[in-house]
Amino acid sequence: MMGFTRDNSKNFDKIIFFSTLAILFVGVLVLHSASSRYYHQNIVFRQIIWISVGIMFLFAVLRISYQKILHVSYLLYGLNMFFLVLVLVIGQARGGSHRWINLGAFNFQPSELAKIALIFALSSYLGARKGDVARIGALFGVLCFALPVFILILIEPDLGTALMLVPITFAMLFMAGANMRHLMSVVFMGLGALPFLWHLLRDYQKQRLLVFINPNIDPLGSGYTIIQSKIAVGSGGLFGKGWLSGTQNQLNFLPERHTDFIFSVVGEEWGFLGALILILLYLLIVYRGIKIMQSTPDIYGRLIATGVVTLFSLQVVINIGMTIGFLPVVGITLPLISYGGSSLITTLILIGVLLNIGMRRPLF
């Protein structure tokens, strides 16, 4: 690996940082509205605590060169594999899923940190083999990292998070210079396996996919949330109904509005213009992240940035897409806004990593 300069504060990307703070502020306002009547108000207080913890982690990450983190990437990957196995054994059950480890004061979700561990492990592996990535052996090596994580998260079950690992892996392989024929072969094999994978899905997961095609097949069951979500977003119009004034939200017609479907509250109360401003803030982070990725000559930095930008942008697209009925419901949270400590802290750590890469340049 190449040597690196000390962090350069002049390269600190203020656009990413302040866009992140703006989204966090919007998130607190929206979460307050979503929880003001039918949820305990302490979830807003908890979210503010998670934001504070996440920002501390962000600045802590800035102080450590990402290259030093790469040195322990395999160790981080191994520890996370241990926690993914542990959650299946002693994990707290919610709705039939074992995704959380109860640590007393808070619940820890290993699948969220698995995203960070996998991005760094793949970056370390692919970066060290930049001249041989086009060979089929490198592809098998990557699958040896990604498949165990994918399978363990799928068993929990957490289909949405597991599926997120697929585009991250392919994007990093593409950036590293993998053979396109090999990648397309894997894609076609995956498509060919879909009929068999269908039988491995839980009944509620199958129902979610069927409801995506036609929500009216179960309007009072699996289709209820997406129907109410589209009503909420559509009723917001151009300017919205006003903060704390959304009827679908305030009258408790919209389930999961503080987590997976919080964008419905934005659409109803802030309208098309409010939702557009929020999306533009996300686009600013993605755009600046791509600029960092393109301007970093170090292959390790480019690979990490590719994984982070892919993960962040896809989470936004998938969450908003499922909220307005364009994509099936897969349990993906809206970054920096949805309630949840593990997801929020993970996102802030990844943004810190992205800023970290932008602040450091290789010495030639």
pLDDT at 307: 96
CA distances from 118 to 73, 182, 349 (A): 8, 21, 14
Q: Which residues of the chain have pLDDT under 70?
A: 1-9, 37-41, 93-97, 104-105, 198-200, 204-205, 212, 218, 220-221, 361-364
Rounded Cα distance, 349 and 91, in Å: 24
pLDDT digits 0-9 by tens, 166-202 = 999 999 999 988 888 888 887 887 777 777 776 667 7
The per-residue pLDDT for range 13-49, each reduced to its tens digit, is: 999 999 999 999 999 999 999 887 665 558 888 999 9
Name the pTM for this structure. Answer: 0.90
Biggest distance spanned by C-alpha atoms of the chain: 63
Residue 4 per-residue DSSP state:
B
Distant-in-sequence, close-in-space partners of 206: CB < 8 Å, separation ≥ 6: 198
Residue owning tokens 């940082």:
17
Six-digit token string for 257: 């509005």
**Phi/psi at 44 (5° precision):** -70, -45
What is the structure's pLDDT at 5? 46
